[in-house]
Amino acid sequence: MKNVVVVGSQWGDEGKGKIVDWLSSEADVVVRFQGGHNAGHTLVIDGITYKLRLLPSGIVRKNKISIIGNGVVVDPWALLDEIKEIKSKGVNVDENNLILSESANLILPFHKEMDEIREDAAGNAKIGTTRRGIGPAYEDKIGRRSIRVMDLVSENNLDRRLETVLTHHNAIRKGLGKQIYKKDQLKKDLLKIAPEILKFSQPVWKKIYEYKAKGKKILFEGAQGILLDVDHGTYPFVTSSNTVAATAATGSGCGPNTINYVLGITKAYTTRVGEGPFPTELKDKTGELLGSRGKEFGTVTSRKRRCGWFDGVLVRQTIKISGINGIALTKLDVLDELEEIKMSIAYELNGKKIDYLPAAVDDQLRVKPIYKTFKGWKSSTKGIKEFEKLPSNAKIYIKELEKFIETKVSSISTSPERSDTILIESPF
């Protein structure tokens, strides 16, 4: 029996939703452990499309427990809207199958406003956030002034906590020439929804310990990708939390020995949303083809994704950082029409060859990829479920990719449908 962590090995949008749904048929419990409603997971099940942002992917499956851990920042109104939306598609959501950590920090309206104010003021230096208040909410968490789920229990406590956080925010708003944010209406709005939120609230660390003791299989679901990790990503063009596999432990309240297998979701090419370095980006017809065939638009924002060749250097690096045991290779079928396919196997920086992405953003923007070129297979792989039935050039590409990143390809996805998957090694 194994407890599995699923993380994205690139900049996110690797297809984690489908893989987590596929794995959740084996799991008993599915846990979100970081990020907020800036993370979009699209699931297509029996012809019905579900777009999840805060809810774990296991929520669409019967007899599964879904958990939102303490490491997630939660917009309570967005959560209730998402629950309403998913219920309208026939999915049951109640306190028996959804647990929200009492320690989770809340995203409030002034966080979203601050996100927008900063992005608009940054001009060409903008980060490319989703403007949903994620970063400012994490800042308040670290600054020890945040409102947490448990604070909704007591009106007096909520009043004090709001006083503290707004003292900080209003000082900044005044300095930026913005109107101060008033407490009373926000307190009323929070108290109004408090019963709906609190009915899901439990000590998640305790529940996970109980599930472990009962031998339940636990699936930890990451949001964003490792290259957006606040420490290990392309800083400052990153998210505001740690996205590496180790965060599954701190973001849910369990020891690292709970984790038995780390699965890295890896797209057969590379995409990125927003600003920041992207060594293998293609700003030509091939990039456009990848974007159109792969339907590369953000689940949450509908922003067009930047597309490029598979960057073996980056994926090999994130595998080492996150302790990935195997990768799930997704969207192989998007490459079907290409005459040739390239993979970055090194970089050139200031005339020297290097085998990793340097930490300095100026260097990240200057590196030039060194490619290995493969012949395309020019035939459909869509829906293939056995490795041996893949075109020979597709098998060559996968085997060379596997060899370069020094990690086993454990599964291959050949369409958005959950059943269209080549299983080579099960994480469970």
* Residues tagged active-site: 13, 41
Please choose, from the candidates 244, 200, 221, 208, the residue with its C-alpha nearest in 3D space to the C-alpha of residue 43: 221
Give the HSE-up count for residue 24: Cα atoms under 13 Å, Cβ half-sphere. 27
User: Strand ranges (DSSP E) for 242-367?
Assistant: 261-267, 270-272, 306-308, 310-311, 326-330, 340-349, 352-354
Q: Please state, in angstroms and rounded to a whole number, the distance separating the CA atoms of residues 419 and 47.
A: 12
Which residues on adjacent β-strands are paired with residue 148?
A: 105
Cα 7 from chain centroid (whole Å):
7
Decide: helix, strand or coil at residue 263. strand
Helices 76-87 and 183-198: crossing angle, nearest 10°? 40
Q: Please state, in angstroms and rounded to a whole number, the distance separating the CA atoms of residues 253 and 208.
A: 8
CB 225 within 8 A of CB 16: no
Scored b (16 or more CB within 10 A) or e, 54-69 reads bbbbbbbbeebbbbbb
